């Protein structure tokens, strides 16, 4: 019988799709922030862009990443300078000259005239390191150590120059043999031949395949086409040219002189110059003329410096992507791999999360395109936001008065067909089928056997929602004069309207709600229109016109209990003339006050329950609203802005309770 088989599992870096360890996308926070901006007057498109720029409480935004990009760029420039290769060459030269002097001093067999001549050559070397290296090109070294150090100079220069064009070549050619160098020279010749043919349009895919089969080990990027090969080489070559442009004139002159000694072969520079010419002709759109201002203390070699210049270019590209100020910009445009390379894994997770969040908002039904192409909050988003705002209002009500959650529907009417989880204090009948189904599913999920019986838990119980016996026609008048925006009351006003709208549309579906905004003129508005309404800098608080529209709405629902809720921060300063224009005056004219009061009398003549919500501490407004409330048997509430939603919702529920006796609700 075969023995047991053992299987080994290998674990590696996850590379298949979204990061499973990335933090979840918080759509609730994003939607709340976007809705606040929309209610403050931003377009949904701009509000989305602003949230992505700011980020969330635990989520970095574009601005945070852009600051890190700029800091990374400053760090690179402040840390490095371009003297690295020159310093290495000078150290090797000094080492060679010192070793040669020691050899000359201890070589007793050397002719005195020869020794004197050699010492004179060493004593009279040019001050320029490059000139001294070239001066010693034909020197017959007596010291093997000195000769080795000088050869290291030529080897270093060759590897650095190649490393500028081919990343990693400096390390690959360390301790290289003459055969290795010959192979590189052959590769350069074949590469220039391929690029020449490509420039003339004479190359074929077979030419590229043959080149890669022969020299592919020099190209770790593993390009699949000649264009991919050119792109990789041209970006590196352009960075090398920008590095050269960043040097001082003295450094450039020294480098040109030293280049002649690279590998002891002038043909290397000829091949590299030809390569640069081919690449610049094939990719002229790259930045071949820019420069950087390196000012640090850490010297870089030519290859490393070229890599840093490429990093700087990548950082500049990231900065442009993060600005998102071009048409059609998306968070998915950001190169997450580049973010990972430059800023680390945490920044890459943030960039990826922002892209996922934007995609979820756009494709998940929370934002939608209207007929004119503009972006708007979808009905689903409005419902989610309204639910959250209503929950906040209910929490404030409960904390203030000990009331239950404001999610109760009518308790003594017809069933609505909907159910919900049972809560303490509910008097609605149980939905037995749904409750037993919940118990069976819970038992199975907890590992139990429903066939052996189930035990009903309070978590399983669902109750039947019912409509209340009474129905109400509710009018919410909200002040949309510019003072509401100027005093920071614009967004709380809209949040209040949205919370009340959600309560009526989901829990008291038999009620009818009308939203009316009044500034210089009044207008009935849908919740979508009111939510998206921007503040307009115009004078006028036309409560008279708003009451005219309220009277028309109540007349259209004569069998319903009338409820009038008025949110304002100023006395009436405008009224509607018979010809349809608004008359404005500050301070308020007696005619404006007279028409407003007369119209309020007409609205409340049918027993309308009325409440005024006064915002601010203006004495004139306080006196005026107190008089109106006394006149119509209403009342005035002066809530704090944060409590406005709870105050309006609570007042509506108070009126609903007054409409029937058997609804169990404590306010």
d(CA 423, CA 407) in angstroms, rounded, equals: 10
Q: What is the pLDDT of residues 229-243, one digit of tens each?
A: 999 999 999 999 999
The residue among 650 and 327 whose pLDDT is bigger is 650
Tell whether 403 is covered by a domain.
no
Structure tokens at 547: 């009451």
Burial code (b: 16+ CB inside 10 Å, e: under 16) for 608-646 equals bbbbbbbbeeeeebeebbeebbeebebebbebebebbbb
Q: What is the DSSP string of 114-173?
A: HHHHHHHHHHT--SSHHHHHHHGGG---S-HHHHHHHHHHHHHHHHHHHHHHSTTHHHHT
Per-residue confidence (pLDDT) for residue 426, from 0 to 100: 59
667: pLDDT strictly greater than 50: no
Tell whether 652 is covered by a domain.
yes
170: pLDDT strictly greater than 90: no
> Do 185 and 236 belong to one domain?
yes
**Which of 73-82, 280-289, 371-380 is predicted with the least confidence, judged by mean pLDDT?**
371-380
d(CA 158, CA 151) in angstroms, rounded, equals: 11
d(CA 81, CA 290) in angstroms, rounded, equals: 17
> Do 71 and 149 belong to one domain?
no
> Do 179 and 286 belong to one domain?
yes
Per-residue confidence (pLDDT) for residue 666, from 0 to 100: 31
> Do 264 and 120 belong to one domain?
yes
Angle at CA 495, nearest 5°, toward 482 and 544?
Answer: 45
> Do 456 and 477 belong to one domain?
no
Tell whether 283 is covered by a domain.
yes
| 133-159: average pLDDT | 92
Q: What is the pLDDT of residues 183-228, one digit of tens each?
A: 888 999 999 999 999 999 999 999 999 999 999 988 888 999 999 9
| 27-36: average pLDDT | 80
Please list the alpha-helical segments (H only) found in 261-344: 266-282, 302-323, 336-343
d(CA 562, CA 514) in angstroms, rounded, equals: 11
> Do 229 and 321 belong to one domain?
no
**Which of 267-271, 341-345, 411-415, 630-634 is predicted with the least confidence, judged by mean pLDDT?**
411-415
Angle at CA 272, nearest 5°, toward 267 and 274?
Answer: 95
> Do 562 and 529 belong to one domain?
yes
Tell whether 586 is covered by a domain.
yes
> Do 63 and 94 belong to one domain?
no
Per-residue confidence (pLDDT) for residue 444, from 0 to 100: 82
- Beta bridge partners, 525, equal 515
| 487-507: average pLDDT | 89
The listed range with the strongest mean pLDDT (34-43, 243-252, 383-392) is: 243-252
Q: Report the percentage of the chain scoring pLDDT > 90.
A: 48
| Total domain count, the chain | 4
**Three-state helix/strand/coil letters over 608-663:** CEEEEEECCCCHHHHHHHHHHHHHHCCEEECCCHHHHHHHHHHHHHHHHHHCCCCC
Domain span at residue 605 reads 472-658
| 147-170: average pLDDT | 89
> Do 500 and 360 belong to one domain?
no
Q: What is the pLDDT of residues 551-596, one digit of tens each?
A: 999 999 999 999 999 999 989 999 998 887 888 888 888 999 999 9
Tell whether 383 is covered by a domain.
no
Per-residue confidence (pLDDT) for residue 28, from 0 to 100: 78
> Do 205 and 342 belong to one domain?
no
| 406-413: average pLDDT | 43
Mean pLDDT, the chain, whole residue set: 85
Tell whether 666 is covered by a domain.
no
Q: Which of 244, 262, 293 is the last residue of a domain?
A: 293
> Do 438 and 482 belong to one domain?
no
Tell whether 15 is covered by a domain.
no
Q: What is the pLDDT of residues 465-480, one digit of tens each?
A: 765 556 899 999 999 9
Per-residue confidence (pLDDT) for residue 48, from 0 to 100: 84
| 496-515: average pLDDT | 89
């Amino acid at each position: 019988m075969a023995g047991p088989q053992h299987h080994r599992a290998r674990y590696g870096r996850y590379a298949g799709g979204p990061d499973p360890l990335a933090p979840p996308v918080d759509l609730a926070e994003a939607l709340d922030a976007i809705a606040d901006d929309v209610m403050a007057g931003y377009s949904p498109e701009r509000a989305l862009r602003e949230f992505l720029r700011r980020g969330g409480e635990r989520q970095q935004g574009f601005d945070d990443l852009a600051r890190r990009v700029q800091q990374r760029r400053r760090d690179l420039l402040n840390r490095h300078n371009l003297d690295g290769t020159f310093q290495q060459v000078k150290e090797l030269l000094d080492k060679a000259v010192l070793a040669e002097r020691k050899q000359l001093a201890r070589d007793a067999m050397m002719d005195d005239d020869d020794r004197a001549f050699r010492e004179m050559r060493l004593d009279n070397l040019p001050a320029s390191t490059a000139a001294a290296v070239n001066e010693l090109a034909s020197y017959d070294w007596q010291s093997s150590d000195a000769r080795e150090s000088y050869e290291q100079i030529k080897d270093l220069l060759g590897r650095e120059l190649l490393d500028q064009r081919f990343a990693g070549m400096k390390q690959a050619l360390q301790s290289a043999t003459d055969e290795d160098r010959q192979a590189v020279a052959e590769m350069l010749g074949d590469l220039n031949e391929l690029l020449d043919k490509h420039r003339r349009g004479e190359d074929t895919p077979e030419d590229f395949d043959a080149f890669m089969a022969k020299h592919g080990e020099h190209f770790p990027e593993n390009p699949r086409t000649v264009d991919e090969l050119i792109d990789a080489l041209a970006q590196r070559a352009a960075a090398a040219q920008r590095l050269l442009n960043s040097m001082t004139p003295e450094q450039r002159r020294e480098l040109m002189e030293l280049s002649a000694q690279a590998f002891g072969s002038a043909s290397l520079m000829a091949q590299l110059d030809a390569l640069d010419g081919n690449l610049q002709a094939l990719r002229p759109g790259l930045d071949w003329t820019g420069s950087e201002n390196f000012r640090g203390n850490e010297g870089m070699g030519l290859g490393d410096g070229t890599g840093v210049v490429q990093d700087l270019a990548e950082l500049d590209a990231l900065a442009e992507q993060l600005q998102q100020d071009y048409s059609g910009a998306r968070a998915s445009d950001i190169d997450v791999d580049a973010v990972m390379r430059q800023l680390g894994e945490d920044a890459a997770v943030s960039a990826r999360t922002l892209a996922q969040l934007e995609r979820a908002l756009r494709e998940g039904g929370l934002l939608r395109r209207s007929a004119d192409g503009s972006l708007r909050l979808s009905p689903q988003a409005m419902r989610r936001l309204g639910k959250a705002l209503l929950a906040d209002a209910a929490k404030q009500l409960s904390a203030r008065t000990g009331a239950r959650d404001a999610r109760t529907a009518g308790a003594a009417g017809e069933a609505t067909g909907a159910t919900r989880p049972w809560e303490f204090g509910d008097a609605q009948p149980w939905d037995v089928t749904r409750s037993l189904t919940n118990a069976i599913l819970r038992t199975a999920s907890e590992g139990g056997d429903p066939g052996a019986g189930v035990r009903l838990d309070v978590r399983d119980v669902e109750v039947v929602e019912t409509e209340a016996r009474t129905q109400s026609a509710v009018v919410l008048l909200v002040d949309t004069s510019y003072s509401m925006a100027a005093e920071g009351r614009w967004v709380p006003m809209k949040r209040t309207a949205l919370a009340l709208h959600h309560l009526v549309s989901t829990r008291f579906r038999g009620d009818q709600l009308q939203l009316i905004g009044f500034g210089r003129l009044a207008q009935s508005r849908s919740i979508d229109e009111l939510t998206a309404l921007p503040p307009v800098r115009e004078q006028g608080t036309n409560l008279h016109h708003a009451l005219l529209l309220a009277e028309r709405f109540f007349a259209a629902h004569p069998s319903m209990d009338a409820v009038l809720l008025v949110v304002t921060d100023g006395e009436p300063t405008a009224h509607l003339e018979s010809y349809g224009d608004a008359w404005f005056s500050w301070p308020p004219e007696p005619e404006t006050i007279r028409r407003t009061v007369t119209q309020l009398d007409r609205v409340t003549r049918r027993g309308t329950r009325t409440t005024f919500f006064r915002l601010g501490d203006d004495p004139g407004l306080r006196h005026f609203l107190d008089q109106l409330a006394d006149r119509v048997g209403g009342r005035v509430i002066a809530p704090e802005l944060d409590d406005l939603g709870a105050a309006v919702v609570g007042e509506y529920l108070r009126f609903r309770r007054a409409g029937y006796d058997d609804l169990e609700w404590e306010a």
